[in-house]
Chains A and B, each alone.
Chain A
Amino acid sequence: MERFIQVIVDGIATGSIYAALALALVLIFRSTGIVNFAQGEMAMFSTFIAWGLYAGGVPLGLAVLTTLVLSFVAGMAIERGLIRHFEGGEVLTLVIVTLGLFILLNSLAGWIWGFGNRSFPSLFGDSTFDVGGVQLTWESIGIVGVLLAVVGLLFLLFQRTKIGLAMRAAALNPESSGLVGVRVGRMLMLGWGLAAALGALAGVLVAPRLFLDVNLMGSVLIYAFAAAALGGFDSAIGAVVGGWVIGVTENLAGTYVDFIGADLKILVPLAIIFVVLLVRPTGLFGTREVARV
């Protein structure tokens, strides 16, 4: 029984990481209307930057914070410099552009930092503690806590601030937003910046658990896609719930179902993607169907 609870808790922690990246995907989808296939690689790149700062002597917390800020700026730059040119055009073009960015960032990171792997320290330390026979790590608690804090902040931003309202409006109806003086382009930039920061957060949270290498976020991205698909691509709550469900399911399957070894664990989110999209494409909490290509 203890083991079961442990698996659940750990699943929620992993799920929170998927949720963070899924939130980034949802943010981009709601504002720009596309799925950013390069979101994971952007996150990986950010994580390397954090590592670089840390290895250079910067205290971990500060390194992470700086990385979040830098990622925010980079996200804005990518929207303004690259994506903006293709907005309003064919979706396929943007798909190719983000795929190109995926490949580019992956190799660029390899070029700069090499293709080997390295370890990344946890923000929450390694210690564990005991609650009624269940072994919990501060790390797991920390990850879930961070996610909840992030969700809370995003809620405040979008529901209680003027700029959050403007961002929502810009995503809902760019033309009407222009009529009230909302500069839609700037709102999109902000959206991409936020998404990049969220991705970076996911990266630094997952890196201690896996090895930090250029393929760090490859599978995490698939899990995040599954989470967003399950939750509904235009729902933030969906991303969180989806992430937790995927995390827990993956962990349960990996622990209790024998023929799914480490290699085939990836089939779990893939199967979920298939089933969800074929049975209920809008996901659990989503409202609109993705537009056609």
Chain B
Amino acid sequence: MSDRTLRIAGLVVLIGFAVLVPFVFGPYRVGQFTLVAAYAVAALGLNLLVGYNGQISLGHGAFFALGAYTAALLIEKANLPYLLTVPLAGVLAFAVGYVFGVPALRLRGLYLALVTLALAVATPQLIKRFDGLTEGTQGMTVEQPESPGWLPLADDQFLYLLTLVVAAIMFALAWSLMRSQVGRAVQAVRDEEIPASTLGVDLASTKTRVFALSAGYAGVAGALYVFAIGFVAPEAFTVTISLAFLAAIVVGGLATIVGAVFGALFIEFVPVYASDVNDALTGVIYGGVLILAMFLLPGGVAGLLRRIRELVARRPAEEEVRRPAVATEGRGVPAGKT
């Protein structure tokens, strides 16, 4: 069996499972999977920025919140049909991301991390600050999409499948983009900035555009989140969600498209199960798993699956992952250190 066959088979299984979810599980579970789909879109956006483009952002929760509140306001205050709010949330987040990206791309590595972290920390405060618009701390209830009469689906099933379709579109978009000339340019920027620029890649605009695109993804995800939860409040958009997205892509697999799915599953279900064991222990398990993942699975779950495929196919896998930002081999201590 070739690696290609295995990958397609795996994808078919994944999609099959995804489609069957609303018919196999009860409403609560389906609701969780709906959130997973929403988070996966956000994680994918972040992965474009971090995994493929090599920039770091600890603040994607801000764009997620922006998308969520945009959708919420458009539905509740402007009475727009909910479907329309998805692209609008995405576009607004893209625009804000672009504006933010212009100065931000002057920063490197840890400075960018800090600035985006500051953005993430500021987000709930800013939401509260503009409480005239956002209803501040008390939050806003939002009417959730309902299953149209002509479809034999319950509300939760419809919502899930709707989210799934949007997510699938976003994934397909990202996948084709990263395989194109544009995608190669994006990764060239990550790998070595100097060679990329000699190849005629405009570094500045590439980085800003990727930043904006990833923000747009987070915005779309935010809108989907609002549909799923039906409520927005500042507390949902603290630093925690930003860090969760980052954890998702690292655990799922940087610079992979499918990694976002695994990561989203991780951040949705691990806290749930961990809190079943012990409330306080949730964080211990979450943090512990993150650290362990770095020790054992630097390539994330996607990397692990790749290795399994290699074993089964008995041949090195296709170059799906090109030099991700996390080392795929454990880096030992350089010579000279004791």
B115 engages A274 (CB within 8 Å): yes
- Cα-based distance from A51 to B118 in the complex (angstroms): 30
Q: Which residues of A contact B335 (CB under 8 A)?
A: 178
Which residues of chain B (266-300) have a CB below 8 Å from chain A?
Answer: 278, 280-284, 286-291, 294-295, 298
Q: Which residues of B contact A225 (CB under 8 A)?
A: 114, 117-118
Report the minimal beta-carbon distance from B291 to chain A, rounded to whole angstroms. 4
Known: A93-B294, A174-B336, A184-B338. A292 touches B108 (CB 8 A): yes
Report the minimal beta-carbon distance from A262 to chain B, rounded to whole angstroms. 11
- Chain A interface: which of B5-13, B121-129, B139-147, B161-169? B121-129
- Cα-based distance from A90 to B114 in the complex (angstroms): 17
A267 engages B125 (CB within 8 Å): yes
A103 engages B290 (CB within 8 Å): yes
Report the minimal beta-carbon distance from A31 to chain B, rounded to whole angstroms. 12
**Cross-chain contact of A183 among B129, B294, B337 (Cβ < 8 A):** B337
A278 engages B106 (CB within 8 Å): yes
Which applies to chain A's interface (DSSP): helix, strand, loop or mixed? helix
- Chain A interface: which of B34-42, B77-85, B151-159, B243-251? B243-251
Known: A92-B325, A101-B291. A290 touches B115 (CB 8 A): no
Query: Interface code B295-338, partner A: CB below 8 Å = 1, 0 otherwise?
Result: 10010000000000000000000000000011100110111111
B214 at the interface (CB under 8 A from A): no
Interface residues on chain A, number (Cβ under 8 Å): 58
- Chain B interface: which of A107-115, A148-156, A203-211, A236-244? A107-115
- Cα-based distance from A155 to B167 in the complex (angstroms): 56
Which residues of chain B (227-279) have a CB below 8 Å from chain A?
Answer: 243, 246-247, 250, 254, 278
B298 engages A93 (CB within 8 Å): yes
A95 engages B331 (CB within 8 Å): no
B283 engages A106 (CB within 8 Å): yes
Interface residues on chain B, number (Cβ under 8 Å): 57
B44 at the interface (CB under 8 A from A): no
A157 at the interface (CB under 8 A from B): no
Query: Interface code A55-78, partner B: CB below 8 Å = 1, 0 otherwise?
Result: 000000000000000000000000
Which residues of chain A (81-107) have a CB below 8 Å from chain B?
Answer: 82, 84-93, 95-97, 99-107
- Chain A interface: which of B19-27, B50-58, B64-72? B50-58
Report the minimal beta-carbon distance from A4 to chain B, rounded to whole angstroms. 27
B291 engages A278 (CB within 8 Å): no
- Cα-based distance from A44 to B295 in the complex (angstroms): 25
Q: Which residues of B contact A90 (CB under 8 A)?
A: 325-327
Binding site for B on A (CB under 8 A): 34-35, 82, 84-93, 95-97, 99-108, 110-111, 114-115, 174-175, 177-178, 183-186, 188, 222, 225, 229, 233, 263-264, 266-267, 270, 273-274, 277-278, 281, 289-293
26 sample A-B contacts, Cβ–Cβ < 8 Å, listed by A number: A35-B113, A91-B56, A92-B56, A92-B254, A92-B325, A93-B298, A93-B326, A95-B110, A95-B246, A96-B247, A97-B291, A97-B294, A99-B290, A100-B288, A107-B280, A108-B284, A185-B338, A264-B129, A266-B125, A270-B119, A278-B104, A289-B108, A290-B111, A293-B108, A293-B109, A293-B113
